[in-house]
């Protein structure tokens, strides 16, 4: 049997929880570190985590990689030093955030920890980038997952992001790319 002191402690804990739910409704916590946050926080992240996201504002016009050193010689080149000697099968690529240990956490969380809600926030980041740079497009396609990997993971993270991006940008998502071979995991 619980002592009176324990009972009182439980009641006190319940009151605290009700109070916390009132301040942070719908169990709103930072999607990276799980700290409670305000419902209106951008991308559902706490201030500290949000600061760690490095948005690419001045990416290469060809490959989208962040350009660290601008030099006068590079100004006339349609691309950065990385893509200068390369031929791509696309006209232009755009990146939203720098690939750092921190942004990796978001991708890893989505891919390997079943945090499928991350796809919504990643789609929001992409939507903002598309709006800022006034990028117009007709369809959204997603990278397919090999059927064995899809079976193992249970979902295709790229398809999930595409679904949300389609919703917020009101653009049709088309399942039009096939995968012939199972490639080695990139990350
Ligand atoms: Zn956080
Ligand atoms: Zn480049």
Q: Nearest Cα to 138, choosing from 186, 95, 170, 109?
A: 170
How far apart are alpha carbons 31 and 51 in whole angstroms? 14
> What is the torsion angle, in degrees rounded to the nearest 10, for the CA atoms of residue 125, residue 55, residue 48 and residue 41?
-30
pLDDT at site 140: 96
Question: Which ligand ends up closest to the CA of 46?
Answer: 1
Q: Which ligand is nearest to the CA of 56?
A: 2
Q: Decide: helix, strand or coil at residue 77.
A: coil
Nearest-CA neighbor of 67 among 75, 4, 12, 39? 75
Instruction: Give the ligand whose atoms come closest to the C-alpha of residue 45.
Output: 1
User: What gap in Å lies between CA 64 and CA 75, rounded to an integer?
Assistant: 15
pLDDT of the residue at 25: 47
User: Quick one: which ligand is closest to 93's CA?
Assistant: 2
pLDDT tens sequence across 33-52: 888 887 777 678 888 888 88
Radius of gyration of the chain (CA): 22
Compute the CA torsion angle 159, 165, 170, 176 (nearest 10 deg): -30
How far is ligand 2, taken at its centre, from the CA of residue 87, in Å?
Answer: 11
User: Looking at the CA of 90, which ligand is closest?
Assistant: 2
HSE value, Cβ hemisphere, 13 Å, CA-based, for 59: 20
Distance 132 CA to ligand 1 centre (A): 25
Query: What is residue 55's predicted lDDT score, i.e. its pLDDT?
Result: 86
Instruction: With H, G, I as helix, E, B as strand and everything else as coil, classify residue 17.
Output: helix
Distance 180 CA to ligand 1 centre (A): 39
Phi, psi of 127 (to 5 degrees): -60, -40
- Cα–Cα distances (Å) from 42 to 39, 125, 135, 141, in that order, read 9, 10, 22, 26
Q: Which stretches in the chain have pLDDT values below 70? A: 1-3, 5-6, 13-27, 42, 68-79, 181-187
């Amino acid at each position: 049997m619980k002592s009176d002191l324990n009972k009182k402690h439980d009641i006190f804990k319940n009151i605290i929880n009700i109070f916390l739910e009132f301040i942070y409704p719908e169990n709103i916590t930072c999607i990276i570190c799980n700290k409670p946050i305000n419902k209106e926080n951008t991308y559902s992240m706490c201030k500290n985590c949000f600061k760690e996201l490095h948005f690419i504002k001045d990416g290469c016009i060809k490959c989208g990689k962040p350009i660290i050193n601008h030099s006068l010689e590079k100004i006339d080149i349609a691309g950065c030093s990385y893509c200068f000697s390369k031929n791509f099968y696309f006209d232009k690529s755009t990146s939203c955030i720098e690939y750092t240990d921190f942004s990796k956490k978001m991708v890893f969380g989505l891919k390997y920890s079943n945090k499928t809600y991350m796809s919504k926030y990643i789609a929001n980041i992409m939507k903002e980038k598309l709006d800022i740079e006034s990028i117009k497009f007709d369809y959204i396609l997603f990278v397919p997952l090999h059927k064995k990997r899809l079976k193992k993971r249970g979902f295709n993270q790229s398809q999930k992001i595409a679904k949300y991006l389609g919703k917020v940008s009101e653009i049709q998502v088309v399942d039009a790319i096939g995968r012939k071979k199972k490639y080695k995991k990139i990350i």
